[in-house]
Amino acid sequence: MAEEILEAPNVVEYPFSRTTGPVVGAFLTALREGFVVGIKAADGSVIVPPVEYDPFTAEALTEIVEVADAGEVVSWAWVAEPLADQPLDRPFAWALIKLDGADTPMVHAVDTGGDPAGISTGSRVVARWRPPKPAGSDEPGPGLAEDPNPPRAYREGHILDIECFVPEAS
């Protein structure tokens, strides 16, 4: 006699949304507006990207401070063959970048034009920003409307509003 196999659908879903809150929201809003903010920790250091709670004391943090959009490469790794979902379609570096005014580094892409000799630990980099969205526009960007997952053409409050960092001109 054949045994009957019981089946039941198993749907994994998250039927809720989460707001970014005052700290992450301030960071994303600043990116959309074309500048970077961090948060002052209990010891006075500035953490970028900002976090809601002090990593050492667990105190709630609230003092948002502006930092520069340029800084120093602390460490980096070369990507010779970028994958489809990476921020650049040519060789680039992932780098830990300590922005001027910050005490912690953040990770982001550095575009050296495909030349690994264009980056080193201690080198200076500056943000290359996406352009602001034109007033009254709800388009994703030029020629991107037909793409179901378009690349970001304009700043919208996302870490990729900084398209990448580039070596600072000397």
pLDDT tens, 114-141? Answer: 999 999 999 999 999 999 988 876 665 5
pLDDT at 146 exceeding the cut of 70: no
Q: Which amino acid is at 136?
A: G
Gap between the Cα atoms of 99 and 97, Å rounded: 6
Which one has a higher pLDDT value, 6 or 98?
98
Which one has a higher pLDDT value, 23 or 14?
23
Q: In this prediction, what percent of the chain has a pLDDT beyond 90? A: 73
pLDDT at 23: 96
pLDDT at 148 exceeding the cut of 70: no
Per-residue pLDDT band at 144 (split at 50, 70, 90): very low
Element (H, E) at 21: helix 21-33
pLDDT at 142 exceeding the cut of 60: no
The token pair that represents 32 in the structure block: 């959309």
DSSP letters spanning 155-168: B-SSGGGEEEEEEP
Say how many C-beta atoms besides its own lie within 10 A of residue 5's C-beta: 5
Q: What is the pLDDT of residues 42-90, one digit of tens each?
A: 999 999 999 999 999 999 999 999 999 999 999 999 999 999 889 999 9
pLDDT at 151 exceeding the cut of 70: no
pLDDT at 15: 78
Q: Are 67 and 100 in contact (CB under 8 A)?
A: yes
This prediction's pTM:
0.82
Q: Tell me how many degrees the CA angle 63-65-66 measures, rounded to the nearest 5.
A: 165
Query: pLDDT averaged over the chain?
Result: 90
Gap between the Cα atoms of 15 and 10, Å rounded: 15
